[in-house]
Structure formats: C-alpha cells, structure tokens
Amino acid sequence: MSGGDTFLSVRDIWKTYAIPHGGGSRPVLRGLDFCLERGEMAGLVGESGSGKSTLARLLLGLEPPDSGTVLLEGQPLRQWRARGGRLSVVFQDYMTSVNPGFTLAEVVDEGLGPGCRLSRRERRREVDRLLERVGLSPLLSGRLPHELSGGQVQRACIARALAVQPQVLLMDEPTSALDPISTSKIEELATNLKEQYTIIIVTHNMQQALRISDKTAFFLLGELIEYDDTQTLFYQPKEKRTEDYITGRFG
C-alpha cells in the first residue's frame, strides 16, 4: 500500500449528537486533529464523557463524523479498508465481548472468521500461536471464560483482535475492569505488541499513558487540548488544563 509519511491522520473531526426529547444537539468532538506514525502507540486520555469512545467508533468506521476526515496511509478510511487495511478493537468489558459458552480456543478462533482459508489443523495451530503471542498457555484452550481470570479473558480478546492481522490495534479502556496485576501484564503485552502494530489505547488514566504510550492526546469535553510526545506532555505540558488533569486537580 502506498501513502504519505503519516500513517494515521485525523483532520478536523466534528461530531454532534442529538439530545433526546427535543433537547437540541451537542458537539461531542470539536475539531479534532492528530496524527500517528506507523509502529507508534498513542494514548487517548480524558475523563469519562470527553469523547474518547466516540473517536474510537469513528476510527473503526462504525459511524461517520459530521465533518472532517480520517486518513490511513493517505487514504480515506473506507478506501483503506477496501484495499485490505484492517483495524481491530478490544473493549473494556471483556466478559460481554466473549460468548460465555465458548472455550478460550473458540473465542480466539472466532477472530479468524468464516472466510479463513486455513485447514482445521492449521487453524488450531494458528489459535495456539495467537494464545502464546498474548502470553496464554494453549493448555488453557479448553477453558470457558468463567473458569479464567479477567486478565486471561482480556488477553484472549486481544488474541482474537490480532487474528485478522490488523495494521492498527485500538484498545478502549482495556484494563479499566482489571486488577493491578492483570493491568500491568496487559500493559507489558501492549508494549511488546508495539513492535508489530500501530496501537491506540484509550484510557482515563494518565499514568497508564505515561507508562506505555509514545504519544498522548489529552481530551476535555470533546476538545483535544494537547497532543505531544508522552514525556513532554506529562512533564512539560503547555496547557494549564493538561497540567491540572495530571496533578489531579480536576473534578
């Protein structure tokens, strides 16, 4: 695939939602601009309700923006997808994103999809490889979600997301429902996956972005307040509102 230097470019995105019962409308994203190079990890940080998941849905192509464009490798999202571009997602709520009756292997296998050309045996081997890629033993492959820890189920969701060989991995609050140990393991995994994928991680936790992401975008009420290298944003924020969020003076 060809394209400019910038891998992902989000340009002047606006999104407005109607408020129910004739309450008018409200902009949820207000002129967002940011870009990301291949192989980088960006943290999208902001309080609840700041528009992070809305941006994630737009990036996934699940809904269109009112105006503005998302370019991947210089092409509009739809065109990029039509040419084989793939973007995978991992959600916060891992338990509702897996079928409770599926074994670990079936959860991951689902990601390979019905059109997969592999033989049954190759498919099984690929599932094992994906499980190992996310640090899960194939010995666990017969277990059901409720027989696993939250961190293990979330890893299976990541393995399922990797099954399509995405160029971009988008994780929306992947550790918000996890304990600290599982969280640090997922962070370690994300750091490791960065060698192979371009990653966007949505989080309300600035410390998490500081630990793992190369770049960080700070959102407030649908506005991108500041976007910079994570270290610069964290230690030398240019905006008072970013500094207030970092030092916990919000809310």
Span from 45-53, 64-72, 118-126, 150-158 in contact with ligand ADP (CB under 6 A): 45-53
The only residue of 53, 184, 196, 205 in contact with ligand ADP, by rule CB under 6 A: 53
Using rule CB under 6 A, residue 154 touches ligand ADP: no
CB of 172 to Mg ion, least distance (A): 6
Contacts 24+ apart (CB under 8 A), 91-97: 91/157, 91/172, 91/173, 91/174, 92/172, 92/173, 92/174, 92/176, 92/177, 93/177, 94/150, 94/153, 94/154, 94/157, 94/177, 95/145, 95/150, 95/153, 95/177, 97/157
Span from 26-34, 47-55, 120-128, 232-240 in contact with Mg ion (CB under 5 A): 47-55
CB of 86 to ligand ADP, least distance (A): 23
Do the strands 41-46 and 198-203 form a parallel or antiparallel pair, or are they unpaired? Answer: parallel
CA distance 17 to 40: 31
Strand, coil or helix: 102? coil
139 touches 55 (CB < 8 A): no
Span from 44-52, 74-82, 102-110, 148-156 in contact with Mg ion (CB under 5 A): 44-52
Using rule CB under 6 A, residue 50 touches ligand ADP: yes
CB of 247 to ligand ADP, least distance (A): 20
Using rule CB under 6 A, residue 46 touches ligand ADP: yes
Q: Which two tokens stand for residue 200?
A: 């966007």
Given the complex with ligand ADP, which of 62 and 181 has the nearer CB atom? 62
Binding site for ligand ADP (CB under 6 A): 17, 28, 46, 48-54
Binding site for Mg ion (CB under 5 A): 52-53
